[in-house]
Structure 1
């Protein structure tokens, strides 16, 4: 729980602390309860609440009496007080969402990824306009547009750097491109970082201790959070674990090593193995991201239908991923590991039991504490919801580190 301070110079931080407490109290909070939980004076809380009500972010509810004391007026988040847009750029689809202040998805557009950055920008502009129109939300109520893209990214320049399976996207100024196309302030981050932010924004299970988010798509990556704050690294590209070797006899990686976790979990590897083993017919289309994605779906469906060979292919991949997760979880002393991403719903039945077993039997710290392994609470579109959550998180999440001068923040493009 974040604590406030009564020093006047950090009024903005205190406002974030109070709003965060209200947001995470679905049964309501009174002013006296907020003062007790934040460490702020009752007068300071009352002043902050008045500002939040005037901004439309907080509303007063019922008066609740307990014992002989004066009834307390309960305070609630006004979820419709503000909105954010999010876009996830993936090799197969571009997903756009409109979320409210609580991070709940109000509208969604999923469309095949067009060829080239300019076409994607046009598609995003059309999708955002359509969502706002359907939801009846005025542009002035939108706080900004978040973009989640495959890493690594150059946040200072607002560009993506050689994203896998997105031809023509190297060093494209995505942030400025989408700001110009949509007219909104834009914030850019890696898809795995955005996914972690979505999990932190929507729930309480990862706000204490150290947590991991393992992203499964056409590549793999990890995000780390400690006490509810993303640990992003010097250039905000922490978590690029694709070349962590998990099987010395595994598939050959483009880096020259065998058994890197990225190639071990890649759809291209799983589909190739399925074709070689006869699970999928020879000549199965797999030359484009969409074809690979469809072939992976067929492989997972065969395993679900009882094909032992298909199940074996996925089990081997799951064991390799589990070894890598165990190493990373030990490295950062993680108490929670969350999986998600575009491929996760199909892989979950095969990966979850294997990862849980590996951590229970092989984690160095297993005798100190268990590691909880979960699927994303946000769901299939965690990348897009995470992109929108980047906007909400940047504006409303209280961070003590933000009180220290010189701390880098996410750059924002203004149209």
Structure 2
């Protein structure tokens, strides 16, 4: 089985040793911004975007492996772990696929199908599924068991249906097909609850509303979810089927198990079992999944909208629209310099080395004076990190030696600067820096 570090390396298109080194740093408690800024020599200069992807994928894959181990152990303890099933579980690449495979073996409450099995009806279900020439009603007579709650042939056949329904509903490949089909073709339907027309007036737009599930915008989805939470709206996801036609998901279930209605004695009963499987076992289960997915999608989109609206307020210049020279203090690595104009645009950047060991004090003042004059800077902003006092003195000497520049200096809290510098937002805003 491919190693976790090898798999992530292949996905990111980097060397495995880079991934291994980064995982060690993350496991030691280092954050992505810290690694991006201060451990380039260890990671082989992985950038912040690659590190974020690596970290997120690492968490997902470790959770997947933990769950895989738990599932394998659980099925093995039940004595039901075949080589084929084990291979399918080991090959599963998503949590959804893993849970679908585990579904038939997951400990569950006593179901109607289980009760029927305990009453000895499973051989009848197997026989009718395997041989469609059998007459269900006639075959059921031999399985009547009044003491177990199956007093007539109808009750026996219902029990057999539940056995097959639960078996059908636990087929991982079938679940994946139905889930994908509903996601691509499903319609979100909202209707008003009876008697809530006046009370729910603000949700009137959704009293009779339908649109493609995959295309519902976030604001409408959230409004409908609010309406449901307040007891005004009923929401469901389904395929619109013309009256008199069979639901396509029922057809998919029948096709998956090769159940065709050819007029044989057991065909009608099996087709009814397929119908029950969809309507009773699978429809609500998959609808709940899709609605949860829609809510998550809508909330993420809403957060993006709110964030965009808030961004301008948060990025408003605290000292007004004034060209500024920003200094990120440092000793051995130098003082980083960035110049922004009065609109906040980065117009220049570089580094000076006024402190030990290079001690280029006068040259640094001269370089800063040149930048201030060139870009009409009015402010010098100094980060309050390592060497901030020494750098503040440098700015003070600059102001004394060049009063004609009219500069002012201010100490700035660096909290969050490193985190931002290694963020996706920074990479998008200033991709070349």
Question: TM (normalized to structure 2)?
Answer: 0.20
Larger relative contact order, structure 1 or 2 (CA cutoff 8 Å, min sep 6): 1
More helix, by proportion: 2
Question: TM (normalized to structure 1)?
Answer: 0.21
Larger radius of gyration between Structure 1 and Structure 2: 2
